[in-house]
Structure 1
Amino acid sequence: MRKAYSLTAALVLFSTGASAADRVPVIELQMDNGSANQSAITRSSGQFGGGTDTLMLLQQLQDEVRALRGMVEQQQYQIRQMEQQQRDRYRDLDRRIAVGQNSQAPQDGSAESALAPAASAPLPLPAADSTPTDSQAYQEAFGLVRQKDFPAALAAFDKFIELYPESARLPNAYYWVGEVNLAEQKLELAKAAFEKVLQTFPEHRKAADASYKLGVIYHQMGDQAKANEMFNSTISRYPDSSAANLARDYLKR
């Protein structure tokens, strides 16, 4: 194209007798052509630049989708863990209720076996103008635990603790306040109840269970160092208890 423009200009010059100074149109044609080429290059570059931006945006969106998918999977895993922990708590509570129902009353009369001989047997009702004995009040509160009427059970145990501060069943009442609150995931209230058993009644047979449960609570609170301390304390202080065996199993996880 550049040769064609020059040849045309030369013919014009020859036919008109133009001087050498009139060769400017040839230069203008070449510059115009160069400008057109430059414009085409600019437009082409803009098109390619826009394509690159689109690819970068698409890549960014894909990265964000992958990140969100990872977050969802992590939350689903945490939910499954929480559901499993909830099932484990209720299974453990059911097991302990069953033990309380089937155990024989010890000599000090302090265990859950102060319950009626059969779970379905009605408890004798006190006279309208009499105060129930501590055994009757305890049986009523523990019966509410068996029925899983936890709010009513907590109220009944709180009333028992208020009315019978000298009862031999007092450690058991505090212990079951802790168990019910733990089943309801009221960790601070459960912790306070188990600490009361451990600190006030360290020689009671429920102290070993309370010590183990404190380890479980600290684990659920995320304080693994304190949890391990409580599990090891349970093993060293109550080595022959079932709670010590549970603590050993927990430490192996």
Structure 2
Amino acid sequence: MFKKMVITSAAVIGSTFGFVVPVMAEPVVIQSQPDHVANSSSRGISSSPGPDPAFVENLMFQVRDLEQQVAEQRGLVEELNYQIQMLQQEQKERYVDLDQRLLNMQQQLDMQAVAPAEREVSPSLSESAVSDEDILAEYNAARDLIRNRDFPGAITALADFAQAHPNHELTPNAWYWLGEVHLVSREVTQAQAAFETVVDDFGGHAKVPDSLYKLGVIAQQQERGSQATELFNRVISEYPGSQSAKLAQARLDSN
């Protein structure tokens, strides 16, 4: 009887263990989070706040300010280039005028020197021709000093020429170039006096419009705007079509 109970108990226990073992042997499944949840969590951890709006606005303001400054500088450079072109053209016209006058004077001297036997030459005419040659040589020597940029020497030579030959045909040119050399040497008062001498004492001479224009330039540089405008308009009205009138108009248009 006792043996049957033992056998029955063992059978029950064995069946119990046989049921438990398969259940415990089943693998445990670990459930992971979806990818979008993990990524959003990771981004939330590594994200940083954006730039300060006030800082960005300040940078934009500085950029606009720099752009404005660059535009202003570009305009200034264009204006200076235009003025340089005008001055170069003015200088070219001035030399052409001077060379033409010197050529005309030389031709007159040659005509006086040729064929002495065909006409009676009085002593006074002969002396006058020699004097004109000397005067021309004296004037050319003064101009050579300008070309060699010996401005102090040119000022002395031109002033001596104008004083020694107050009524000669080249004297207005000497006064004009004297004004130019003084202006280059930054002696504005002396330059103005020389140009005024051409205008006041040699009316009708070809250098009058050039001298008027230079007086307008001096007035403009000294910030005497109304006087500069008056002088430029005078050049335009009294000497239309001249190179000085074109330069004066350009000065008025640039203001």
The normalised TM-score by structure 2 is: 0.52
- How far apart in 2 are the matches of 1:84 and 1:199? 30
The Cα offsets for residues 64-97 of structure 1, whole Å up to 9 and x where unpaired, read as 3223322332332233234323322332332233
Q: Is the 8 A contact 2:235 2:248 kept in 1?
A: no
Deviation at 1:134, TM superposition (A): 4.4
Partner of 1:70: 71
Alpha-carbon distance change, 76 to 175 in structure 1, aligned in 2, over 3 angstroms: closer
Partner of 1:214: 215
The Cα offsets for residues 139-167 of structure 1, whole Å up to 9 and x where unpaired, read as 3113434x3535143332133345x1645
Q: Is the 8 A contact 1:157 1:177 kept in 2?
A: yes
Partner of 2:41: none
Q: Is the 8 A contact 1:212 1:246 kept in 2?
A: yes
Alpha-carbon distance change, 211 to 55 in structure 1, aligned in 2, over 3 angstroms: closer
Helix, strand or coil at the partner of 2:195? helix
Deviation at 1:213, TM superposition (A): 3.9
Partner of 2:56: 55
Partner of 1:230: 231
Q: Which amino acid counterpart does residue 77 of structure 1 have in structure 2?
A: E
Aligned pairs for 1:126-205 within 5 A: 134-145=135-146, 147=147, 149=149, 151=151, 152-162=153-163, 164=164, 166-168=166-168, 169-181=170-182, 188-202=189-203, 204=205
Q: Which amino acid counterpart does residue 211 of structure 1 have in structure 2?
A: L
Aligned mate of 2:245, from 244, 247, 250 = 247
- How far apart in 2 are the matches of 1:72 and 1:92? 30
Helix, strand or coil at the partner of 2:93? helix
* Structure possessing the higher radius of gyration over alpha carbons: 2
Question: Size of the alignment, in residue pairs?
Answer: 179
Query: Structure 1: which 5+ residue stretches go unaligned?
Result: 1-46, 114-131
- How far apart in 2 are the matches of 1:75 and 1:223? 21
- Percent of aligned positions that are identical: 25
Aligned pairs for 1:21-60 within 5 A: 51-60=52-61
Q: Is the 8 A contact 2:209 2:235 kept in 1?
A: yes
- How far apart in 1 are the matches of 2:201 and 2:176? 12
Q: Is the 8 A contact 2:233 2:248 kept in 1?
A: no
- How far apart in 2 are the matches of 1:75 and 1:210? 27
Partner of 2:34: none
Q: Which amino acid counterpart does residue 247 of structure 1 have in structure 2?
A: A
- How far apart in 2 are the matches of 1:175 and 1:196? 8
Deviation at 1:198, TM superposition (A): 1.4
Q: Is the 8 A contact 1:93 1:179 kept in 2?
A: no
Q: Is the 8 A contact 1:174 1:193 kept in 2?
A: yes
The Cα offsets for residues 126-149 of structure 1, whole Å up to 9 and x where unpaired, read as xxxxxx95444223113434x353
Aligned Cα RMSD in Å?
4.0
- How far apart in 2 are the matches of 1:153 and 1:189? 14
Query: Structure 2: which 5+ residue stretches go unaligned?
Result: 1-48, 111-132
Deviation at 1:173, TM superposition (A): 1.6
- How far apart in 2 are the matches of 1:74 and 1:195? 34
